[in-house]
A and B are shown apart, each in its own frame.
Chain A
Amino acid sequence: MQPLSIRKLNVWYGRQQALKDISVDIPRRQITAVIGPSGCGKSTLLKSLNRLLDLNEQVRVTGQVLLDGRNIYDPGVDVTEVRTRIGLLAQKPFPLPLSIFDNVAYGPRIHGLANGRLEQLVTEQLTAVGLWDEVKDRLKAPAAGLSGGQQQRLCLARTLAVAPEILLCDESTASLDPLSARGIEDLLRALKENYTLVMVTHDIDQARRLADHVIFMWLGELVEHGPAGTFFAQPREELTQAYLARRIG
Chain B
Amino acid sequence: MNRRKVRKLKEHFFLWLMRCFLAGAGVVLGLILGVIVWRGAGALSWEMVSQPPQGGFYLGQGGGILNAITGSLYLALGATLLAALVAVPVVLYMHVYGGNGRFPHILRLSLDIMWGIPSIVYGAFGFSLMLLLGLRASLLAGVITLALVVLPILARTFDEVVRLAPPHLRETTLALGTTRLEFLAVLLRQTVPGLVTAVLLAFGRGIGDAAAVLFTAGYTDNMPESLLRPAASLPLAVFYQLSTPFPEVQARAYASALILTLLVLAVSLLAHLSSTRLGRNVIR
Q: Which residues of A contact B (CB under 8 A)?
A: 50, 52, 55, 57, 80-85, 87-88, 90, 92, 94-99, 102, 106-107, 110-111, 142-144, 155, 158-159, 162
B177 touches A80 (CB 8 A): yes
Tell me if A55 and B177 are in contact (CB < 8 A): no
Contact (Cβ within 8 A) A96 B173: yes
Q: Does B190 contact A (CB under 8 A)?
A: yes
Cβ contact within 8 Å between B169 and A55: no
**Alpha-carbon separation in the docked complex, A85 to B175 (Å):** 10
Question: A88's contact among B100, B175, B280, by CB below 8 Å, is which?
Answer: B175
Closest 10 CB pairs of A and B: A84-B177, A88-B175, A83-B177, A97-B190, A142-B281, A80-B177, A94-B168, A94-B172, A97-B281, A97-B189
- Within 8 Å CB of A50, what residues of B? 175
Q: Which residue of B lies closest to A142 (CB)?
A: B281
- The contact of B177 among A81, A97, A102, by CB within 8 Å, is A81
Complex: A97 Cα to B177 Cα, angstroms: 17
The answer, among A94, A97, A102, for a CB contact under 8 Å with B282, is: A97
Q: How far is the CB of A55 from chain B (nearest CB, A)?
A: 6
Residues of B in contact with A (beta carbons under 8 Å apart): 99-101, 166, 168-179, 182, 186, 189-190, 280-284
- A80 near B186 (CB under 8 angstroms)? no
CA distance A62 to B178 in the complex (A): 24
Q: How far apart are the CA atoms of A80 and B171 in the complex, in Å?
A: 12
* Interface contact A111-B177, CB-CB below 8 Å: yes
Residues from chain B with Cβ under 8 Å of A143 in the complex: 281, 283
Given A80-B177, A83-B174, A83-B175, residue A92 in contact with residue B189 (CB < 8 A): no
B281 touches A98 (CB 8 A): yes
B177 touches A90 (CB 8 A): no
A160 to B264, CA, bound (A): 48
CB distance from B105 to the nearest CB of A (A): 14
CB neighbours (8 Å) of A107 from chain B are 176-177
Contact B175 A52 (CB under 8 A): yes
Select which of B168, B189, B280, B282 is within 8 A of A90 by beta carbon: B168
**8 chain-A/chain-B pairs, Cβ below 8 angstroms:** A50-B175, A82-B177, A90-B175, A96-B173, A97-B190, A110-B182, A143-B283, A162-B176
* Minimal Cβ-Cβ distance residue in A for B186: A96
Taken together as a complex, chains A and B put the C-alpha atoms of A110 and B166 apart, in Å, by 22
Q: Once bound together, how far apart are the Cα atoms of A52 and B172, in whole Å?
A: 10
CA distance A29 to B282 in the complex (A): 36
Chain A residues within 8 Å of B189, by CB: 96-98
Whether A57 pairs with B100 at a CB distance below 8 angstroms is yes
* Min CB gap A193→B, angstroms: 22
Q: Which residue of A lies closest to B176 (CB)?
A: A107
Complex partner residue of B171 from A55, A82, A98, A102, CB under 8 angstroms: A55
Question: In the complex, what residue of chain A is closest to B177 when comparing beta carbons?
Answer: A84
